[in-house]
């Protein structure tokens, strides 16, 4: 019972932390003061889409790359460089990643199990497409303290 309570508490803290992270980033976008809200929204959406697309290509998380990894190794593994002094608790990393998944409408936080040991994250579960495997890996890699993501996710759409 205590473990369940701690897990739920961590999940709530992660969701709240991710919400604060998002609002902080929204506040930094106020440099577009002269533009209308619609123009700012459109520009921000375009910029975010370009950034995400570039990250997916850079980290080889396109559906083609994921299909190839699943065919050859049966899983998707991506690594990023460690930053000196960037040691963050594994529980916090899990909570933040679960919080990110909770905010995504197309990824179920309950369908993906997240484990972390010394910044090495393992994702297990099911998503509905290969694109979502890439999205889940990207969200995990963008979390502070994560140095490697091993995605053992299966897609309900055939590879």
pLDDT at residue number 32: 47
User: Which residue from 133, 156, 140, 131 is spatially nearest to 99, judged by alpha carbons?
Assistant: 140
Residues 36-84 pLDDT 10s: 666 777 777 777 767 767 776 676 777 887 788 777 877 777 776 665 4
More confident position, 138 or 158: 138
In this prediction, residues 22-40 reach a mean pLDDT of: 60
The pTM score is 0.54
pLDDT at residue number 71: 79
Residue 41 structural domain: 2-155
Asked whether residue 114 carries a pLDDT value surpassing 90, the answer given is yes
pLDDT at residue number 98: 93
The per-residue DSSP string of 47-80 comes to HHHHHHHHHHHHTT-SHHHHHHHHHHTSSEEEE-
Residue 116 pLDDT grade (very low, low, confident, very high; cuts 50, 70, 90): very high
Structure token digits, residue 35: 């533009």
Asked whether residue 149 carries a pLDDT value surpassing 80, the answer given is yes
pLDDT at residue number 23: 72
User: Which residue from 81, 138, 153 is spatially nearest to 104, judged by alpha carbons?
Assistant: 138
CA distances (Å), origin 78, targets 37, 38, 121, 158: 37, 36, 10, 22
Work out how many domains the chain is built from and give that number: 1
Asked whether residue 91 carries a pLDDT value surpassing 70, the answer given is yes
End-to-end alpha carbon distance in the chain: 39
Q: At what angle do helices 90-103 and 2-27 cross, to 10 degrees?
A: 60
Note the residue count of the chain: 159
Q: What is the residue whose two structure tokens read 């590879």? A: 159
Structure token digits, residue 108: 């179920």
């Amino acid at each position: 019972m205590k473990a369940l309570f701690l897990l739920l508490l961590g999940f709530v803290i992660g969701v709240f932390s991710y919400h604060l992270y998002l609002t902080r980033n929204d506040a930094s976008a106020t440099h577009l003061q002269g533009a209308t809200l619609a123009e700012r929204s459109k520009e921000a959406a375009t910029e975010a889409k370009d950034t995400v697309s570039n990250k997916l290509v850079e980290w080889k998380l396109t559906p083609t790359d994921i299909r190839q990894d699943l065919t050859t190794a049966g899983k998707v593994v991506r690594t990023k460089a460690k930053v000196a002094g960037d040691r963050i608790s594994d529980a916090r990393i899990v909570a933040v990643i679960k919080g990110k998944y909770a905010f995504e409408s197309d990824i179920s936080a309950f369908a993906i199990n997240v484990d972390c040991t010394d910044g090495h994250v393992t994702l297990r579960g099911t998503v509905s497409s290969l694109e979502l495997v890439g999205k889940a890996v990207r969200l995990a890699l963008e979390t502070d303290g994560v140095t490697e993501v091993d995605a053992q996710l299966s897609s309900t759409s055939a590879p």
